[in-house]
Structure 1
Amino acid sequence: MTTEPEFITETRAFYDAVAADYTAAFRGHMDSSPVDRAVLGIFAELVRSERPDGKVAELGCGAGRVTGYLHRELGLDVSGVDLSPGMVELARRDHSEVEFTVGSLFELPYGDGGLTGALAWYSLIHTPAEELPRIFAEFARVLAPGGHLVMAFQAGDEPSRQERPWGHPVTLDFRRLRPERVEELSEEAGLPVTFRSVREPEAGEKAQQAYLLARKPKG
């Protein structure tokens, strides 16, 4: 019997505990996030230009806030996968027209080359640095040649520890990442970066926010 890594167990427990409060806190967040909307719009256009009926997945979708936006506002054929059953339950409740699955970034529930687009929207931030190459290998596996990957994350070096959020007895580290390191990981996995941007913190944020787009070569 294989023992699950502690960081996976802790991440699942954290998000199961805070699922309802977290979802309520970020409801409507896209309305006040023009940069997020712009990056997602670019991603959607790239996916459609590659394959109009291409399938897209949000990998680490939480309660489906971004997944639902991609389906509802941008018209993509999108599904979502997340480690937390509590988050997936809320995603299914709030976005019943989208398919959501409980699963891990280390074993994605998609076939080889089955996706034209994939999102890792703040979903790399709980994985130890030494484990990230495995996740990028999975991203490369599930993307079809010509497929696009978009990533968003807090830029920096020092982690941010969340202790007892909304009074729940859980703690979790949110790891910040250097954009140049994420670019290296993506390119080492065979997904060259095609776009990169970093914006300054906005109200309530404590770190720069980074956005990267990558593409799996056709040849």
Structure 2
Amino acid sequence: MTDWLTDTRASYDTVAAAYADAVRGSLTGDPYVRAALSLFATLAGGDGPVADAGCGPGHVTAHLRGLGVDAFGLDLSPAMIDVARRDHPGVRFEVGSMTRLPLEDASLSGLLAWWSLVHTPDEALPQILSGFHRVLRPGAPLAVGFHAGEGARLKTEGYGGHPMHVYVYRRTPAAMTARLQEAGFTVEAELCLDPSTPSPSAVLFARS
């Protein structure tokens, strides 16, 4: 593993339980995120598996399944996967890296990267996005949520006050759109969240 992957895995192994507690029920109070996930579920349809790449404690994966999607979760952190399996029994969760997806070519009817690229440095994005393109069926949807803006900061303390060592990257929707296009995607829609606050976010919907 490169250093950023090692740091990300170790950090989220450390905060897994506290992170799960922090995000449990978070979708209930966020109608715009729920609407974005509902749109993604509609685009993905019901004719094949859908990956939640970087699923964390699995709450979004479980939400997608509640919307009728055959969703499963992948995450770099074994501790996160343990929490996801505990909290959402009967849902498929696996340890895996987005840098080398353990999936067959053209095997997915959709892929979600829900704020799971925020610790990925720019130089690693082409490999990851190309991997997303590889595993998606032609025309299948990809939804990417991310922190909007520019620059990066080092996060040294996380959920529950536990130590972490990860960089948090912000990217403009235009920059992320360009990255997706370079990987072979067509971006079809953009959703801006909290655009007037100090911590805006964005979601891009694209197709392979």
- TM-score for both structures, normalised by structure 1: 0.91
1:34-45 alignment runs, 5 A limit: 34-45=31-42
Whole-Å separation in 2 of the counterparts to 1:41 and 1:170: 32
Q: How does 1:136-175 map to 2 (within 5 A)?
A: 136-165=129-158, 166-175=160-169
Instruction: Tell me how far 1:133 sits from its aligned partner.
Output: 0.5
Give the counterpart letter for 1:211 in structure 2: V
Which of 14, 36, 43 aligns to 2:11? It is 14
2:118 is matched with 125
Residue in 2 that maps onto 1:54: 48
For 2:29, which of 27, 32, 39 is the aligned residue?
32
> Number of matched residues?
207
Percent identical among aligned pairs is 44
User: 1:113: which partner in 2?
Assistant: 106
The AA in structure 2 aligned to 1:95 is H
Distance in 2 between residues matched to 1:201 and 1:167, nearest whole Å:
28
Q: Quote the Cα distance in structure 2 between the aligned partners of 1:61 and 1:199.
A: 20
What letter corresponds to residue 119 of structure 2 in structure 1?
H
Match among 2, 14, 33 for residue 5 of structure 1: 2
Structure 1 position 209 matched with structure 2 position 206: no
Moved more, 164-173 or 92-101: 164-173
Q: Given residue 97 of structure 2, which amino acid in structure 1 is its aligned partner?
A: S
1:94 to 2:91 alignment: no
Q: Structure 1 residue 197 and structure 2 residue 191: aligned? A: yes
Q: Shift of residue 162 of structure 1?
A: 2.4
Q: Aligned partners of 1:172 and 1:30: how far apart in 2?
A: 24
The alignment yields a C-alpha RMSD, in angstroms, of 1.4
Question: Residue 147 of structure 2 contacts residue 170 of structure 2 at CA under 8 Å; is this kept in 1?
Answer: yes
**Which TM-score applies when normalising by structure 2?**
0.95
Whether the 8 Å contact between 2:56 and 2:80 is mirrored in structure 1 is yes
* Residue 85 (structure 1) aligned with residue 78 (structure 2): yes
Instruction: Mark the runs of 5 or more structure 2 residues left unpaired by the alignment.
Output: none
